[in-house]
Structure 1
């Protein structure tokens, strides 16, 4: 029995995970989690053991324990929030895959996953691919392909650097990946046009002029408008939330609003980056600064996309954790804070970029397709080795490995290297528009856009039957301890739209607890390729 007391009208949905990695059971019979929430939203989850369950685990590894505020009814976002917070709720019963826990106001429902009963002979057929999987693992970890993904990625980022939409560097990188695909003898290599934004950062700076002179470390957010050439000089108002901003509305007029929310998770905190400028503009602010969406900083502002929802567009930039915290402390002491912000950012007319496509044609059902993907573009201030050069290169290399090992898939295996992901998922959206009518031909769509950390399994969305099959498939990867199945899929921003059409989707499940603490321009990538599970079923 799962009980929830939520003294608000908001709707919460919490998903259980099939496995807990490191945390021990806090209490096998009764676990209470008290969230340190703002006064306007307090919650308490009380979990009691049922006789039918072997154990009930709960653990929170995040430094900050707090509310998990998510969009109403958005199951995928909620799951993402829990994952980023490392909060794991689990029911473990014999022969059970996982359980879906839905918590609503004052009520609760446990929806157990069906028992995995595969059709006769299917489990044996799947396990019959163990030799193939072992062959691939050996080839990419100790064989001739060891280090090749790293080498290709290093070549890409060293040669082309940042790959922002609207730049020649991105288009040259696309041309290079086309050339590499042809050189590796992949099939049907081509590109598909995508309309993308063209935003240029230009020079930017920020100085605190009162109560003392200090340079602030900032980074303009995607699609932000610029300031006048002389900049904007205004007093500062620091707020912790949108609710506080509304309460302080009159005080915000004519000021630079600094958003300094407490880090809860990327899924929760990113709303201040994406919506902060518009919310500040609604109360008359002249500019906005948003604390970097990360739990850790060494004077390191993080960029990212923001979206205007109002006609009055104001400049917006990220600011470091250190500078945001300093201004909050000053305000608490009653000190007046003045900042001068200069941003030369400019939005140009949209331009054309391209998704890159390469295939290995299937031998038995060539019209049926298994798609793997990652995005080739990056922000202008980073070479994008982690986000998402590594994931993109691994997706592409999956086909290269198949070709080099002469593995002939039954179905067509297609790699799509998205463009324009960072500024609004443009490549993924355009691909969906063009190919959604062929959705029945897609047997599985996967994306790698969660960093390049140690693989632990697959995050998967599909029918109960498909989920059971995927669980069996993952047993083939016991050698590399990548057997975990989480459901539904988290991540996969470019492919999530396919879920509504019933297409199975997946993202690599990784040990990535420090993902949002990394600077994405660090060349930090595994030189051992984790090969996709589709090899076990689709050749």
Structure 2
């Protein structure tokens, strides 16, 4: 008998390891394939997107449209048949934009097209006039002697280039968020940047947030120039003469506002307390109607969940759609959601948010436990025929808002859209419904419906647990 004990122990270990594997039932795979194909011709998401951008329009966080958007989302989720619809409060600083003007005063007087950046304070009455000092990068500003900056209007002229994955935005957004506080710390009077965008022929500045989140923090007026206006400013600077610019911004933080995340659920029939999380953010910048950023994400999630809802049987686990509040000015809804639900992270089966427009999804990566890699590969096999390639060596982050749950241990996917032209329109007056291609939007819905349904039906979990993915780059 002693000689048999090691063999018995080995069999137990093998059996335990096998039991830990997450698998996808054959019936679920077949249903998901049908769901994928149905989604490619379904127009629910487009109708939702049309409704939000037409009936509500721009949705600047804290504006009167903020409440209208929440009311719209609650009504739309109920109209689509979600079993449970509710809101969770989110509080944040209330920033308002009232007016904005700019002009070159000397040596060649002419107007500039610009937009105030989020959390920028206003200029003094009558505006701010100062000499411009130019830097080519954030690092150059960091290295600058404060004497070179004091009392000046700092300008950084980094020009983003188009990439399928939008790679240059990490530089453009860093300049927009980190540049103003850095310039303020060095004594600058104000801050300008070339818009964080890839359009070249449109005088449409790109809005966006600065790093001035705390109203007690010293702040300076900050604005983004349209790309043609940045070109014009640089041509004037090239003459080698002192260049003076006047800014007149009426904007600033005026108190605190309480909005809400809007949540809809399709209740799981076997494991209702286990959740597959999908969503988008409900707010937008105010120049356009927020179609690509991020009415599309809200519509994709609602459309995918509606298709699952309409199956003959409810999914085994709950599908939760989250329309997050105030992503644009600092992930406020995401952080509030993660703070509230961090203790439940082990019940989150898998999650991914759409917040990169509605171009075709072409890449998928995942942060899951090793025993769930086979299930992810099966999901990838179903998505390959509609143009999605799986990169097993890369982690998944969950998207901008759900990244906050991923930081706390939620298993997550990254589903990357083709963003070649996304930053032509991002945060501008040109972010409107006409930029959405219905067939491409439907492909997004097909991807989200397929992965969400299979995650809900899986035998086993994907590894969500407190701190589970700290080694894959998950961070605040």
TM-score range, shorter chain: 0.7 to 0.9
| Structure (1/2) with the larger strand percentage | 1
Aligned equivalents of 1:437 and 1:491: distance in 2? 18
Do the aligned residues in 2 keep the contact of 1:127 with 1:476 (CA within 8 Å)?
Answer: no
Q: How does 1:382-401 map to 2 (within 5 A)?
A: 382-401=288-307
Instruction: Give the alignment of 1:44-193 within 5 angstroms.
Output: 119=18, 125-142=24-41, 146-193=42-89
* Alignment of structure 1 residues 18-57 onto 2, 5 Å: none
Q: Post-superposition shift, 1:296? A: 2.7
1-side partners of 2:46 and 2:336: how far apart? Answer: 29
Residues 354 and 312 of structure 1: is their aligned pair in 2 closer, same or farther, counting only changes over 3 Å?
Answer: closer
- Mapping for residues 278-289 of structure 1, pairs under 5 Å: 278-289=181-192
Q: Give the length in aligned residue pairs.
A: 419
CA distance in 1 between partners of 2:23 and 2:82 (Å): 31
Q: 1:267 to 1:491 in 2, by over 3 A?
A: farther
Q: Which has the higher helix share?
A: 2
User: 1:363 and 1:526 mapped to 2: Cα distance?
Assistant: 35
Give the 3-state SS of the residue equivalent to 2:323 in structure 1: strand
Find the partner of 2:446 among 514, 530, 534. Answer: 530
**Which residue in 2 is equivalent to 1:273?**
176
- Cα distance, 1:422 vs. partner? 0.6
Whether the aligned pair in 2 keeps the contact of 1:292 and 1:320 (CA below 8 Å) is yes
Distance (Å, rounded) in 1 between the aligned partners of 2:240 and 2:397 = 43
Asked if residue 502 in structure 1 is aligned to residue 409 in structure 2, the reply is yes
Aligned partner of 1:341 in structure 2 is: 247
- Compared CA separation, residues 125 and 212, structure 1 to 2 (3 A): closer
Change (3 A) 1:364 1:314: same
Residue matched to 2:207 = 303
C-alpha distance in 1 between matches for 2:131 and 2:413: 47
The aligned residue for residue 418 of structure 1 is: 324
Cα gap change, 1:454 to 1:425, in 2 (>3 Å)? same
Tell me, in whole angstroms, the C-alpha distance in 1 between the residues paired with 2:354 and 2:369.
21
Contact 2:293 2:426 in 1 (8 A): no
Give the 3-state SS of the residue equivalent to 1:421 in structure 2.
coil
TM-score under structure 2 length normalisation: 0.83
SS of residue matched to 2:94: strand
Corresponding residue to 1:216 among 112, 129, 143: 112
The 2-side partners of 1:511 and 1:519 are apart by 14
The CA RMSD measured in Å over matched residues stands at: 2.3
Deviation, 1:119, is 4.7
Hey, what does 1:292 align to over in structure 2? 195
The runs of at least 4 aligned residues of structure 1 exceeding 6 Å deviation read: 120-124
Specify whether residues 407 and 377 from structure 1 end up closer, same or farther in structure 2 by C-alpha distance, changes over 3 A only: farther
Distance 1:135 1:483, change over 3 A: same
Map of 1:455 onto structure 2? 361
Which protein has greater RCO, CA pairs closer than 8 Å, 6+ apart? 2
Q: For structure 1, which runs of at least 5 residues remain unmatched after alignment? A: 1-117
Partner of 2:315: 409
Distance 2:365 2:357 in 1: 14
Note if contact 1:193-1:352 (Cα within 8 Å) is conserved in structure 2: yes
Contact 1:165 1:419 (8 Å CA) reproduced: yes
Task: State TM-score, norm by structure 1.
Answer: 0.73
SS of equivalent to 1:174: helix
In structure 1, distance between residues paired with 2:21 and 2:378:
9
